[in-house]
Amino acid sequence: MLTLLFNTLSLLAGATEEGTINLGVSGNDTFGALENITLGSIISALIVLVLVIAALVFFFMLVLGGIRYITSGGDKGSTEAARSQITAALIGLVIVFAAWAVINLIQLFFEVDILNLQLESAVDGGGTGTTEPE
C-alpha cells in the first residue's frame, strides 16, 4: 500500500533516483530546501504534528474542564459535566503520551527511527540501484 502511494506520488511529482521528490524549484530561491522532501519525512512530520495537536487539544480540554468546574457554582449537573470533561481530557493525554512512549519503544527495540524515517527508494525497486556482475 505504501509502495503504491509512493509510486503514484513519484509519477505525479517526478521522482529522482534517490527517492526524493523533485518539486521543480531551484536551489537558489526561498523554496530550495523543498527539493529534498521525501515520503519518509512527510510521514514523520505528520506523526509529530498529530501528537502535538492531540496533546494541545486535550490540554485545553483539561483547562476548560477546570474552568467549568470552578464556575459551576455548586450545581450538581454542571459539576459532574466538568468532572467528566476533566476525566476525558486526562484519558486523552494519557493515550497521547502512551503513543509517544510506544514510538520510543519501537525506536529502542527495533532501531527504527519513526520520527526521522528514511524509506527505501521505490523508483529503482527499493535497492541501491547497483547489481553484482555474474
Q: How far apart are CA 70 and CA 76, in angstroms?
A: 12
Q: What is the pTM of this model?
A: 0.63
25 within 8 A of 33, measured Cβ to Cβ: no
Query: Cell for 129?
Result: 540501484
Q: What would the pLDDT profile of 14-68 be if each residue is shown by its tens digit?
A: 555 555 555 555 555 566 667 778 888 888 899 999 999 999 999 999 999 999 9
Q: How far apart are CA 71 and CA 64, in angstroms?
A: 10
- SS3 assignment, position 124: coil
**58-67, 104-113, 121-130: least confident range:** 121-130
